[in-house]
Amino acid sequence: MPEPLTFSDWIRNRRPLLIIAGIQIVLLAFIATRVMDIVIVEDSREVVDGVETITLRRELIGDPLLFALAAVGMALPLSSKNLRREPVMLLTVQLMIVALLIFVLWPVGQIFVEGFEGSGGDKRFSLENYQRLFSRPMVARASRNTVLLGITSATLSTLIGAVVAYTLTLTDIPWKRILRVLVVLTLVSPPFAVSFSFILLFGRRGLITYDLLGIRAWSIYGPDGIIMVQLISNIPLAVLILMGVFSSMDRDLEDAAEDLGAKTFRLLRTITFPLVTPALLTAWLLNFISSISDFGNPMLIGGDFQLLAPQAYIQRVELFDPQLSAALAVLLVIPALFAFALQHWISNRKSYVTVTGGARTGQIRKLSGWFKWPLFSIVLFLGMFNLLLYGSIFVGAAVKAWGFDFSLTLRNVKGLLIAIGELRNSLFVAAVAGVLGGFIGIILASLVTRRRFAGRGALDFAGTLMYAIPGTVVGIGYIIAFNAAPYLWTGTFFIIIVAFAFRRLPVGLRSGVAAEKQIDPHLEEASLDLGASRPRTFAKVTFPLLRTAFLAGVIYIFIRSMTDLSAAIFLSSARTQLFTVRMFNVMVRGSPSEAAAFAALLIVIIMLALGLLGRLTGKSFVDLFRIT
């Protein structure tokens, strides 16, 4: 007959679970102290016989609902038997759920809450803000302009990107290697730097329009200028997506059509481009999201053309109307979320399969001259135009006053020396955000690819959601969520780092997922069979194999954080101002040569980071941007 368990034996057998339970209690207590607080406030005041009596009471401030959601988020994984058997894994899943709830879902949700609240502190559901909005012709005009601009920009950039990607992947044009680099060159700078270079070349005192062609009547400011700038900025994304698809297409399908007498144009129209329809739709949707969420370009080159993202900023920062700003953010985020959900559905479909065993992929087509050289001319023009844009930035940084005095000078370097504090802030924020986002991305990737538990798909979706949220909406959401007591985080390095890390988290997550799928699960199973714990297995086996993906995610998030403006302009303060915000203010102030020096320095920093990333991953310049 077995001896009965003593209390000490019971404790010893359940020690890991008890430790985890203790950690969970401490974590919940920590969250409670961060999101809620009890303050002493005056309840009443009365004077009796010349003696004033003040009655005080305790009042709960903060977000009890957020604490309740965090508690529910920690409780949900307890329903999984697989996770309950592994306490450390259980705690990891709980931490990821809580982090995504607080820093992804809560800020986005707060935008909808504030957008549908009444004015004057009325917390009840109300459509008052939207009645106020749509009573103003400006809002209807901005909404219509935003959607039409998104459709136009996405359609043109995707069509041109498809032609360029096909030419660079499947044709025998010359200079393909250098042209691939030049075509995607605009990815290395902040998007609004492209509009700035357009102003240098085609503005009121533009080098080409004013000095060379003598054009006075035409203006770059307005919808035409925004569309041109967004085309140059968004074509590279379509090119990168479609180059990968074109390179994996089965040549046998086109050979069969050619054997049946199909000519080149008919072949492209009936076989080649229909087969890449899902990739075309994906590129269109991602470019649509990029276009409607664009903030810096319309602010610089939009003139009086009204769009939702700049209007949300103006309502919040200049007109001090946070509720109308939140309502505008809701109008901006709804089409972005719809496009993201549609893109997610398309990317998960298993149709349009063209690659099977023994397929011949990526073979070069020898085209006739009448078809080959026009394609080559399009790609060459785009590459040279990008080179011209970036050349204008570096030349502008070296002259005294662009448009007036083109003599060389080092005077613009003084402006950079004055902004050394902002540069230091940006380097610090981007580096920490890169490490944090890369680490969380690798942990999430390991959970969603290697573990089986209820809610795994929802965790993956929440980790990817920020890709669809415009930066303007992220900034407004974080202000609403974390600018009141007991947080008061707005304007601190902490909230900027967290916002950057979670906004770019999809990059770290997707690169981690891609790397995890290349690792044989038997390696981890062998470690576990030899007695190693799962945390030790991850640290000694899995993570070393994921190190390249982790570093790639870190540097990629660093690059995007260094060039971010739309969220940074809401979250930074005078003490924590970032380099891109200072550069944007200089551009708006109308100091083109000084602003060019800022943009040139930032481009050099990004190129150095890309060079380091290339050495770590062994990828070419173009392939570095294919981190998905």
Q: How far apart are CA 585 and CA 574, in angstroms?
A: 13
Map out the domains of the chain with their CATH numbers. Answer: 131-354+366-626 (1.10.3720.10)
To 5 degrees, how large is the angle CA 42–CA 33–CA 116? 75
Phi/psi for 478 (5° steps) reads -70, -35
Instruction: Give the residues across from 38 on adjacent strands.
Output: 60
Q: Is the bond into 486 cis (omega within 30 degrees of 0)?
A: yes
Q: Where are any strands of DSSP class E within 155-213? A: none
71-101 exposure pattern, b = at least 16 Cβ within 10 A, e = fewer = eebbebbeebeebeebbbbbbbbbbbbbbbb
Give, in order, the Cα–Cα distances in Å from 59 to each of 29, 38, 43, 67: 18, 6, 10, 16
Token duo for residue 85 = 């058997």
What's the CA gap between 136 and 114, in Å, rounded?
A: 19
Q: How far apart are CA 236 and CA 428, in angstroms?
A: 28
pLDDT of residue 506: 85
Q: Of the candidates 556, 253, 543, 200, which has an alpha carbon nearest to the alpha carbon of residue 402?
A: 200
Per DSSP bridges, beta strands 405-408 and 399-401 are antiparallel
Cβ–Cβ < 8 Å for 192, 297: yes
Q: Are 384 and 390 in contact (CB under 8 A)?
A: no
**pLDDT value, residue 465:** 86
CA-to-CA separations, 149 to 73, 133, 143, 223, 366, in angstroms, rounded: 39, 20, 10, 8, 37
| Residue-level length of the chain | 628
Whether omega before 4 lies within 30 degrees of 0, making that bond cis, reads no
Q: How large is the C-alpha radius of gyration of the chain?
A: 28
CB 200 within 8 A of CB 392: yes
CA dist list (Å): 194 to 187, 236, 350, 603:
10, 13, 37, 12
The confidence score (pLDDT) of residue 304 equals 85
pLDDT tens profile 11-66: 666 666 677 777 778 888 888 887 777 777 776 777 766 677 777 777 777 788 88
Q: Which pLDDT score, from 0 to 100, does residue 412 have?
A: 83
Q: Which residues pair with 399 in a beta bridge?
A: 408
Both tokens assigned to 92: 């990891």
Listed as ranges, residues in the chain with pLDDT below 50 are: 1, 350-362, 627-628
Q: How far apart are CA 345 and CA 95, in angstroms?
A: 28
Answer for the pair 164, 239: CB distance below 8 angstroms, yes or no.
Answer: yes
- H or E element in which residue 99 lies: helix 87-100
pTM comes to: 0.83
For position 252, what pLDDT does the model report? 59
How many CB atoms lie under 10 A from the CB of residue 604? 12
Residue 262's pLDDT is 60
Largest CA distance in the chain: 109
Residues whose CB is less than 8 angstroms from the CB of residue 248 and which lie 6 or more positions away in sequence, other chains included = 354, 355, 361, 362
pLDDT at 553: 81
Q: Whole-angstrom Cα distance, residue 211 to residue 198? A: 14
Q: Are strands 405-408 and 36-48 parallel, antiparallel or unpaired?
A: unpaired
